[in-house]
Amino acid sequence: MNESLHLVCPHCHTTNRVKSADLPNAPNCGSCHKPLFVAHSLALDEGNFDRHISRNHIAVLVDFWAPWCGPCLQMAPAFEQAAAQLEPTFRLAKVDTEACKNLSARFNIRSIPTLALFVNGCEVARQPGAMGAADIVRWALAHAK
């Protein structure tokens, strides 16, 4: 199967069309020519959140966190490790709930860290609490189907 997928560039936020068979070949953005996957999470804000959630044809796993939160800071390295393992079939992103209060309210975030998995623009699963990299990967793969 070699369908075309839409992928939003983590650098310039342009939507790219990429053949699914080309995902493992480290595709670059057609606009800014930077890699579409960098094995790290992407910081989203209120200005670019909807574009990444609705336009990506791959699952987007979002970590809602805050800079003052000890468990959030403890989970941050594990989330980055999970990004390296889950790309290119997932995009991992982080939303700072202190800086993006409207997103926190919109998604009714009551505890942090909270992971939310979006597929085709819709939230399909949510998990509060800190997890290790292996648990993040296992949880994401189980809920993306």
Q: Catalytic one among 9, 12, 29, 69? A: 69
**Residues 87, 26 contacting (CB under 8 angstroms):** no
9 catalytic residue (yes or no): no
69 given a catalytic annotation: yes
Q: Which amino acid makes up residue 65?
A: W
Catalytic: which of 9, 29, 72, 100?
72
CA distance 55 to 121: 7
57 and 5 in contact (C-beta within 8 Å)? yes
**Under 8 Å between Cβ of 138 and 108:** no
Would you name the residues annotated as active-site residues? 69, 72
